[in-house]
Structure 1
Amino acid sequence: MTETPSQTPTEPAAPELTIRSTRVYRGPNVWSYEQAIHVVVDLGVLEQYPTNLLPGFTDQLVELLPNIEAHTCSRGQRGGFVERLREGTWLGHVAEHIALQLQQEAGHDMRRGKTRAVRDEVGVYNVIYGFMDERVGLAAGELAVRLVNHLVQPEEGFDFATALDEFLVRAGRTAFGPSTGAIIEEAVSRDIPWTRLNEHSLVQLGQGVHAQRIRATMTSQTSALAVDIAGDKNLTTRLLASAGLPVPKAETVRTADGAVSAARRVGFPVVVKPLDGNHGRGVVLNLTFEEEVRDAFVIAQAQSRRGVVQVESFITGKDYRCLIIGGRMAAIAERVPAHVVGDGEHTVQELVDITNSDPRRGVGHEKVLTRIKVDDAAIELVREQGFGMDGVPPADKMVKLALTGNMSTGGISVDRTFDAHPDNIEIAEEAARMIGLDVAGIDFICPDITAPVRETGGAICEVNAAPGFRMHTHPTVGEPQFIAKPVVDLLFPPGALSRVPIVAVTGTNGKTTTSRMLAHIMKGLGRKVGMTSTDGIVIDERLVIKADASGPRSARMVLQNPRVDFAIMEVARGGILREGLGYDRNDIAVVTNIQADHLGLRGVDSLEDLAAVKSVVVEAVPRDGYAVLNADDPLVRKMRRRCSGTIVWFSMEPPGSEVRDFIDERCRRGARAVVLESSERGEMIVLKQGRRSMPLAWTHLLPSTFNGAARMNVANALAAAGAAFAAGAPLHDIRQGLRTFDTSYYLSPGRLNRLEVNNAEVFVDYCHNPPGMERLGEFVEAYVGQRQGSTDHRISRIGMIGAAGDRRDEDVRELARVAAQHFDVLIMREDDNLRRRPAGEAAALLVEGAREAQAGGARVRQIETVLDEHDAVRHAVLRANPGDVVVLCVDQHAKVLNELESFSQKAQAGSRFSDEQPGDPDLDPQELAAEAESAMAKDDIEVREAMERPQN
């Protein structure tokens, strides 16, 4: 919003800002090119109170969130948003900026946002803002609204500082740890897509066949056997010793007496540790007496999963962690145990509190440093150094609070990457190779890492699988090391692919058939195609999930499948409005057409609104991508302005038409197109690139077009050919794919499937809107016209139609009006899912539309109502004489095909379908008037009875 609000009453308003709805877009959407949260807020009476009329509002907000002064807003300069606040802006806009700032407080650098008024609703606004973590973004929006209301009128019991702390703690729990975060940041910098697979640190990098997974610093290439070996400290020590690497003497025990005996053999001083522990838990160092060993055994055994404890010789020296990635040293850090340094003024406990107040310190691994925990072991250690927790150590006196240098116990790190002696580096790299880890943390204990360990003394005390990165990426002292790079190099070597080609197909009609044609072409090239459609998810021609899978969640499932190397996504309007796209971009976008369907739903009231939604897939095309657009559709043609990539046009219009002139002009400048050229031999699909024309296939030879009669499939073939051409498919493979694709149920279920039942031709199709019915009717006209010339029998046309319950009444009537122009007999049915309409209501609207058309001279002669789809199919087939054409517009195509197959089997067996045939549609003209009157009365009775029946 950029306008300044007009002056309104200055009485303070009650806090009535409320959230109507919240939606999370996990990919490009109608509001943003990137993922975003969409909150619809209702200001109520606060619409009359912009910020300049709320005394003290701006000052209080800046006091609570001082960093909000950095927001530029539309002014493009620091402080621009605060200027807007003082001039006056609405509170929905304020909530947007607060939500962004709250995320920045949590370490998520989010700056994208916008606020727009909802059309035709005063005081209601769309608030859109970016997010990094979905749960954090949602919590930020909720807290932002609460804070706005609190600033308008204080909420009793609400303390923003406490609420902010709770928000930050929640954000810390859901955020990635430093190790996972570093790898993801490196992947993003290389344009490698990533997906979080659970609530913790399991992440997929890349897509489909190129995907790799990480969990913290464990990767897809980490050997499970190597992890097991590293987890067994005794076995690790023996393997390293067999390679001649320096290791301490060690024995494993299960009892305290055994630990004492082992300590005697190893030689005091000793270390007692759990055999399979981690993070330094249960490790007790420098034990010189047998009683100490007994006490340490209890501590170590409590941290051992198998109850086994290792006793090993104590190696004196400093604690170093060597990080080995892919067999090469990546970083070295010196780990200093948790400690405080005296200043002669504060007690040990006060020094601990001061140290823990460092904002870099948090709980566990949530921040780069961990808070020092004062437990009984720490208190005892402090006592051994001659102090109590209330004692005041002298200035510069170091007081240890832990013996081990683990970061998880409050230790700090000093970078020593470039200080290590080459011999020590070689030893660490050999240790990682012996264990077999791709990412390994080698713990060295030695006097000085700059001198050879073999000369100065020292040993490898432990090899760690999944070592933490934060001591290297955020050292307390020294330069940070960018160690995520070699990890990503390991998973994606230079030149390796991380993405699979994604083709997004959208439009009102034809998108499913176009997707299937394209998948068939690419299958011929040997590609493993993953496809989403209204019928389900198909992986390499196998239907793995049967459902309406044209949404973003299905797209993500395809991209997670390790077999997929080419993805085709059927993108529906509903999915875009609900969650956006399920990925960040598509290499090729195909838009078949924009026609009247789904209007009046979710704010899509016109064809222009629908085109704006569908154009999201075009906006998601990168500069090196393609958009395959239907030049015959003016709304699709306009989408070229939204595309950053190259346009591939397709058109059914003949040469010399306005559309073809438009295409030819662009082709002369190097554009690409798929068009039709006519000749005496027939109609040819031609690929054009610049001034070159490349013949592809005769339309009448494509099985899916039924000798050219199915013009909608000609258009679908043009779109599929354009997409395959843009994807780099050779011409002969595109040609072969189109020539071998037919509308059988196995290749194109529910899309113009042809069967012979009782010597009648039956077509099963999913047609469900007026434009689709117009195309289907044209096919019936052309197909019957081809056959009528070869038979003396008058071919009757019987149609079964149904309308979805969530369509507008007028759209339902229009569907029947169109159908009435092409069929002799119309049978009205209803879907299983009535979509909140009473039973019989949608069928009644269809009957109304058909009768209107009949009164206007339409072709239809008989109009019947059979609500149940199964019964309606049976009724339609029984109405047909041999040679007639029956078109079934179905909802559940699988069940319908099964029923028709059953009909065919009965016909072959010579049995009758029913003792009472519905009748012959070929009526004499003299009988029509009387039949029409009785049929109207019968329809009214049937519909009324259906509507009066109780519904489940």
Structure 2
Amino acid sequence: MSTERPTPSGPIAPDLRIVEERVYRGGNVWSYQPSIHMVMDLGVLEDYPSNTIPGFVDGLLQLLPGVANHSCSRGHQGGFGERLAEGTWLGHVAEHIALQLQQEAGHDQRRGKTRMVKGRPGVYNVVYGYTDEGVGLSAGRLAVRLINDLIAPDDSFVWQEEFETFLRSAQRTAFGPSTAAILEEAISRDIPFIRLNSASFVQLGQGVYAQRIRATMTSKTGALAVDIASDKDMTIRLLGSAGLPVPKQETFRTEAGAVEGARRIGFPVVVKPLDGNHGRGVGLNLMSDDEVRAAFAIAKEESRGGYVIVESFITGKDYRCLIVGGRMRAIAERVPAHVIGDGQHTVDELVAITNADPRRGVGHEKVLTRIKTDAAAIELVREQGFAMTDVPPKDQMIKLALTGNMSTGGISVDRTFDAHPDNVEIAEEAARMIGLDVAGIDFICPDITQPVRETGGAICEVNAAPGFRMHTHPTVGEPQFIAKPVVDLLFPPGSQSRVPIIAVTGTNGKTTTSRMIAHIFKETGKKVGMTSTDGIVIDERLVIKSDASGPRSARMVLQNPRVEVAIMEVARGGILREGLGYDRNDIAVVTNIAPDHLGMKGIDTLEQLADVKAVIVEAVPRNGFAVLNADDPHVRAMRDRCSGSVVWYSLKPADSRERAFIDARLRRGGRAVVLEQTDRGDMIVIKHGTRSMQLAWTHLLPATFGGTALFNVANAMAAAGAAFAAGIGLHEIRQGLRTFNTSYYLSPGRMNLINVRGIEVIVDYCHNAPGMEVLGQFVDRYADQKAATSEWGKISRIGMIATAGDRRDEDLRALGRTAASFFDVIVVREDERLRGRKPGESAALITEGVQEAQAVAGTRVRVVETVLNEVDAVRHCVARANPGDIVVLCVDNHAKVVSELESITQSAQAGSGGNEPGDPDLVISAG
């Protein structure tokens, strides 16, 4: 059979389209790093790789020549260009275009992969890295449109316009040069950051160690200092009172007052807004009353409070001194926007040539700003004796702005090592007087290399949140790495920036394990932030009530300034939807992998589900730990994905294969939590190499119901392994487990035991067949234990069961079949949210499973009934029971269920009658 692809014989339809988009904000199933995931359908283009489409490769490389230089899987520069020429599928091409577009926007991204969706020919998973998620998404969308246009040109698609729109959008959302410099320094020190808005408000660090910045303003910048720096009159008064050189200055609200003030101060003068910035509204070297009047109107327009300053004009060059933490870190000479005549071009043409410099952009988007030829610039050129259409002589400097601000098109010359020590001392003293941790001191003096007290000169302004780009990207001279002292100020060498993150996942038991770990840390005095399916808990207070097991909730915990330890319950859905939401976790705990949520979001097998859960194991660093269940083969296999160390735990006896597996690793210095059977009961033991440390008897841990709830024994062992890996002492771990119980206060909806009129009611969230198996085994052991001492005679078991409607039909039947082995009476209900099914449909499938089990000899269940409403089903189950019986309620809304049980108890105590206990073997119509 020929393997050659057909060549097109006619027009090819531009069929490439995006079916689905996802943004992963942390580690995910595709990558350790944040990624964009697009599912793309090639349509008929599946039959046309790149080399079969006439003109496609040449057209693409003409528009984006940088694509050809990508290394791709070839591992050398130009590898993707070779793939294009040989023929590669267009989903793969879209990946590389998206990466190149981000590089064109200044985002250096090189990570990507494209894989066909299993069982869907022509549909591909296209995954690539991003710096800003908005830019990353736009790049993927534009890549698809470009490919379709190259195949069949569309008059409505103009590449140059679309490309420029994309770049402008990327520039609007990008961090400015100052913020970017600080973040680059933070990343180099492994300090995590979270962007708090679409601008430059950023959190560095996590939890209790977090610091915030907004551009170059930091958490340590005093509000009063910022107010003083914004009030130029107050600034000059304070500096003058300290004996620092400052110009004469007065403040006015009226034009007439400004003119009179200028006369008193003496011409030439400067007129500027009291609370302006970036040099806006500043008039320099004003020599007459009329010039002051004209400048006053402009300055007042830029003043938020309507006040205008008139001060003496200091002759000299403009210098910006950057002070961080009280010390001078950089000095730049600021040269106003200008052009240099070449004897051939007009002033207009010289401006255009200067603005063509790729370093120049709009505003602060690039290291230099484009020069504007507005009315003020044209007037300034006229004052120098030229019109914009004149050709100035060769080497003639033509100023287009009076101030040297970078934001008006000025340039900078580094003078950091040229300044005289006296001038440095004056600048540092000025920052201390104002109280700023990061300050920009504006000096006007003839020469920064000479003492200003001798040559003349003054401090004209002190700026809060000074820009860094004149220092990090000087037009002339060496760049200064000024972000380092700023980060040193926030995180002194040796200080911490991360809180310990413990991530817990698995099919069953992850919520209880998370709560146990949190309880152990709480007993050590730590303030714990925890996410779970019940909500976000900060220091034992439920701050948000919802399913909070996703990445957004994780980021909320890491933003809270009280959190010292973060415990993250990580669900499969959150990983598939957005990734982890953080870059790494110090400890990963995986409880088990069982059939649940299969058939959803492309997860059809246990192996695929294990791949999703293993993301938290892959997020463990080299100095971290994974706590893995050695009894589960899918969890055991995750050891190969862990960069750090592994702590094993197992319920199996000493002569089992699982224990032999653990013992082999202990001989090499490994860690484990195991059970040792003795005549007095089962003892949880922590092992580290040859050391063996007894932790606790299982029957003395309240959560294990006298050792009968083996799943909670396993959860306690996992929690102990995580705490031991985190460095918690043996005594603290023991105390935490001994004081943790399954009361509704500590563990709502998880094995809550409530006595209702002599009936033992167990409230639990169990909702799948594997969970029902272990819950049923507990019911067997617990019922046998009760029967040995019961005064009530026969003990019957009644179970209320249900699961989510988005599970597979077979999963619902399996739940019914499993429950049939453990309960005498089963009441089937439904969740309030039906998740796509019709009312009664889920209950009918579960009932089918129960009835299938009833057809088999020896099955325990005798009666199965349907009561769809959860609260009604609770009442029905309690009415079915006699004192001494066991009722297990598998709930959806645990708060409503517990409230109803309390109401039944109170009604019984008040003697109000109501539903009397009945015979559980009696068939009662559910109505």
Length-normalised TM-score, structure 2: 0.99
* 1:636-691 Cα distance to aligned partner (Å, 9 max, x none): 00000010000000000000100001101110110000000011111100000001
Q: Which residue in 1 is equivalent to 2:832?
A: 832
Q: Which residue in 2 is equivalent to 1:866?
A: 867
* 1:768-787 Cα distance to aligned partner (Å, 9 max, x none): 00000011111111111111
Letter in 2 for 1:848: E
* 1:324-347 Cα distance to aligned partner (Å, 9 max, x none): 001010100000001011011111
Q: Does 1:231 align with 2:230?
A: yes
* 1:925-952 Cα distance to aligned partner (Å, 9 max, x none): xxxxxx5xxx7xx67xx6xxxxxxxxxx
Question: Which runs of structure 2 are paired with 1:399-418 in the superposition (5 Å)?
Answer: 399-418=398-417
Q: Please say which of residues 714-723 and 12-21 is displaced more in the overlay.
A: 12-21
Q: Does the 8 Å CA contact 1:551/1:576 hold for their aligned counterparts?
A: yes
Letter in 1 for 2:910: A
Q: Please say which of residues 133-142 and 286-295 is displaced more in the overlay.
A: 286-295
Question: Which runs of structure 2 are paired with 1:482-501 in the superposition (5 Å)?
Answer: 482-501=481-500
Q: Which residue in 1 is equivalent to 2:502?
A: 503
Q: Which residue in 2 is equivalent to 1:821?
A: 821
Q: Which residue in 2 is equivalent to 1:849?
A: 849
Q: Does the 8 Å CA contact 1:204/1:213 hold for their aligned counterparts?
A: yes
Q: Does the 8 Å CA contact 2:862/2:921 hold for their aligned counterparts?
A: no
Per the TM alignment, residue 5 of structure 1 is displaced from its structure 2 partner at its CA by 7.2
Q: Which residue in 2 is equivalent to 1:186?
A: 185
Question: Which runs of structure 2 are paired with 1:422-461 in the superposition (5 Å)?
Answer: 422-461=421-460
Per the TM alignment, residue 69 of structure 1 is displaced from its structure 2 partner at its CA by 2.1
Q: Does the 8 Å CA contact 1:5/1:50 hold for their aligned counterparts?
A: no
Q: Does the 8 Å CA contact 2:209/2:496 hold for their aligned counterparts?
A: yes
* 1:692-749 Cα distance to aligned partner (Å, 9 max, x none): 1000000000000010011110000000000000010000000000000000001000
Q: Which residue in 2 is equivalent to 1:73?
A: 72
Tell me, in whole angstroms, the C-alpha distance in 1 between the residues paired with 2:802 and 2:416.
Answer: 72
Q: Please say which of residues 894-903 and 506-515 is displaced more in the overlay.
A: 894-903
* 1:402-447 Cα distance to aligned partner (Å, 9 max, x none): 1100011110000000000000000000000000000000000000
* 1:32-82 Cα distance to aligned partner (Å, 9 max, x none): 110100011111111111111112211111111111121111111111111
Q: Does 1:898 align with 2:896?
A: no
Q: Does 1:386 align with 2:392?
A: no
Tell me, in whole angstroms, the C-alpha distance in 1 between the residues paired with 2:429 and 2:129.
Answer: 46
Q: Does the 8 Å CA contact 1:696/1:735 hold for their aligned counterparts?
A: yes
Q: Which residue in 2 is equivalent to 1:307?
A: 306
Q: Does the 8 Å CA contact 1:590/1:628 hold for their aligned counterparts?
A: yes
Unaligned ranges ≥5, structure 1:
924-930, 943-952
Tell me, in whole angstroms, the C-alpha distance in 2 between the residues paired with 1:728 and 1:532.
Answer: 22
* 1:436-474 Cα distance to aligned partner (Å, 9 max, x none): 000000000000000000000000000000000000001
Segments of 4+ in structure 1 off by > 6 A?
Answer: none
Q: Does the 8 Å CA contact 1:116/1:126 hold for their aligned counterparts?
A: yes
Tell me, in whole angstroms, the C-alpha distance in 2 between the residues paired with 1:922 and 1:605.
Answer: 39
Per the TM alignment, residue 852 of structure 1 is displaced from its structure 2 partner at its CA by 1.3
Q: Does the 8 Å CA contact 2:863/2:921 hold for their aligned counterparts?
A: no
Tell me, in whole angstroms, the C-alpha distance in 2 between the residues paired with 1:14 and 1:802.
Answer: 49
Q: Does the 8 Å CA contact 2:669/2:690 hold for their aligned counterparts?
A: yes
* 1:193-231 Cα distance to aligned partner (Å, 9 max, x none): 011110111011110011111111001111010000000
Tell me, in whole angstroms, the C-alpha distance in 2 between the residues paired with 1:423 and 1:904.
Answer: 83
Q: Which residue in 2 is equivalent to 1:591?
A: 590
Tell me, in whole angstroms, the C-alpha distance in 1 between the residues paired with 2:443 and 2:775.
Answer: 76
Q: Which residue in 2 is equivalent to 1:348?
A: 347
Q: Does the 8 Å CA contact 1:453/1:459 hold for their aligned counterparts?
A: yes
Q: Which residue in 1 is equivalent to 2:95?
A: 96
Tell me, in whole angstroms, the C-alpha distance in 2 between the residues paired with 1:445 and 1:913.
Answer: 90
Q: Which residue in 1 is equivalent to 2:418?
A: 419
Per the TM alignment, residue 910 of structure 1 is displaced from its structure 2 partner at its CA by 2.2
Tell me, in whole angstroms, the C-alpha distance in 1 between the residues paired with 2:461 and 2:3.
Answer: 67
Q: Does the 8 Å CA contact 2:882/2:917 hold for their aligned counterparts?
A: no
Q: Which residue in 1 is equivalent to 2:369?
A: 370
Q: Which residue in 2 is equivalent to 1:712?
A: 711
Per the TM alignment, residue 846 of structure 1 is displaced from its structure 2 partner at its CA by 1.4
Q: Which residue in 2 is equivalent to 1:567?
A: 566
Q: Does 1:796 align with 2:796?
A: yes
Q: Does 1:886 align with 2:870?
A: no
Per the TM alignment, residue 919 of structure 1 is displaced from its structure 2 partner at its CA by 3.3
Question: Which runs of structure 2 are paired with 1:748-763 in the superposition (5 Å)?
Answer: 748-763=747-762
Q: Does the 8 Å CA contact 2:502/2:566 hold for their aligned counterparts?
A: yes
Per the TM alignment, residue 546 of structure 1 is displaced from its structure 2 partner at its CA by 0.2
Tell me, in whole angstroms, the C-alpha distance in 1 between the residues paired with 2:25 and 2:920.
Answer: 53
Q: Please say which of residues 572-581 and 371-380 is displaced more in the overlay.
A: 371-380
Q: Which residue in 1 is equivalent to 2:145?
A: 146
Per the TM alignment, residue 877 of structure 1 is displaced from its structure 2 partner at its CA by 0.9
Q: What secondary structure sits across from 2:576 in the alignment?
A: helix
Q: Which residue in 1 is equivalent to 2:7?
A: 9
* 1:786-815 Cα distance to aligned partner (Å, 9 max, x none): 110112510111111111100111111111
Letter in 2 for 1:172: Q
Tell me, in whole angstroms, the C-alpha distance in 1 between the residues paired with 2:71 and 2:805.
Answer: 48
Tell me, in whole angstroms, the C-alpha distance in 2 between the residues paired with 1:672 and 1:199.
Answer: 45
Q: What secondary structure sits across from 1:660 in the alignment?
A: helix
Q: Which residue in 1 is equivalent to 2:876?
A: 875
Q: Which residue in 1 is equivalent to 2:176?
A: 177
Q: Which residue in 2 is equivalent to 1:927?
A: none
Q: Does the 8 Å CA contact 2:825/2:921 hold for their aligned counterparts?
A: no
Q: Which residue in 1 is equivalent to 2:22?
A: 23
Q: What secondary structure sits across from 1:340 in the alignment?
A: strand
Tell me, in whole angstroms, the C-alpha distance in 2 between the residues paired with 1:663 and 1:749.
Answer: 34
Q: Does the 8 Å CA contact 1:5/1:89 hold for their aligned counterparts?
A: no
Q: Does the 8 Å CA contact 2:332/2:471 hold for their aligned counterparts?
A: yes
Tell me, in whole angstroms, the C-alpha distance in 2 between the residues paired with 1:238 and 1:156.
Answer: 64
Tell me, in whole angstroms, the C-alpha distance in 2 between the residues paired with 1:5 and 1:426.
Answer: 77
Per the TM alignment, residue 918 of structure 1 is displaced from its structure 2 partner at its CA by 7.5
Per the TM alignment, residue 156 of structure 1 is displaced from its structure 2 partner at its CA by 1.8
Q: Please say which of residues 161-170 and 108-117 is displaced more in the overlay.
A: 161-170
Tell me, in whole angstroms, the C-alpha distance in 2 between the residues paired with 1:384 and 1:806.
Answer: 77
Tell me, in whole angstroms, the C-alpha distance in 2 between the residues paired with 1:53 and 1:295.
Answer: 68
Q: Does the 8 Å CA contact 1:536/1:544 hold for their aligned counterparts?
A: yes
Question: How many correspondences in the alignment?
Answer: 923
Per the TM alignment, residue 157 of structure 1 is displaced from its structure 2 partner at its CA by 2.9
Per the TM alignment, residue 273 of structure 1 is displaced from its structure 2 partner at its CA by 0.5
Q: Does the 8 Å CA contact 1:42/1:123 hold for their aligned counterparts?
A: yes
Q: Which residue in 1 is equivalent to 2:131?
A: 132
Length-normalised TM-score, structure 1: 0.96
Per the TM alignment, residue 8 of structure 1 is displaced from its structure 2 partner at its CA by 1.4
Q: Which residue in 2 is equivalent to 1:47?
A: 46
Per the TM alignment, residue 515 of structure 1 is displaced from its structure 2 partner at its CA by 0.2
Letter in 2 for 1:892: N
Letter in 2 for 1:802: A
* 1:872-909 Cα distance to aligned partner (Å, 9 max, x none): 00111111111111110000001111111111122222
Per the TM alignment, residue 922 of structure 1 is displaced from its structure 2 partner at its CA by 4.3
Tell me, in whole angstroms, the C-alpha distance in 2 between the residues paired with 1:143 and 1:761.
Answer: 62
Q: Does the 8 Å CA contact 2:878/2:917 hold for their aligned counterparts?
A: no
Tell me, in whole angstroms, the C-alpha distance in 1 between the residues paired with 2:679 and 2:5.
Answer: 74
Tell me, in whole angstroms, the C-alpha distance in 2 between the residues paired with 1:503 and 1:724.
Answer: 9
Q: Does the 8 Å CA contact 2:825/2:864 hold for their aligned counterparts?
A: yes
Tell me, in whole angstroms, the C-alpha distance in 1 between the residues paired with 2:187 and 2:725.
Answer: 26
Q: Which residue in 1 is equivalent to 2:643?
A: 644
Tell me, in whole angstroms, the C-alpha distance in 2 between the residues paired with 1:767 and 1:372.
Answer: 67
Q: Which residue in 2 is equivalent to 1:811?
A: 811
Q: Does the 8 Å CA contact 1:343/1:395 hold for their aligned counterparts?
A: yes
Tell me, in whole angstroms, the C-alpha distance in 2 between the residues paired with 1:803 and 1:682.
Answer: 35
Q: Does the 8 Å CA contact 2:790/2:884 hold for their aligned counterparts?
A: no
Per the TM alignment, residue 140 of structure 1 is displaced from its structure 2 partner at its CA by 0.3
Tell me, in whole angstroms, the C-alpha distance in 2 between the residues paired with 1:157 and 1:774.
Answer: 61
* 1:77-131 Cα distance to aligned partner (Å, 9 max, x none): 1111111111111000000000000000001010000000010011111100000
Q: What secondary structure sits across from 2:494 in the alignment?
A: coil
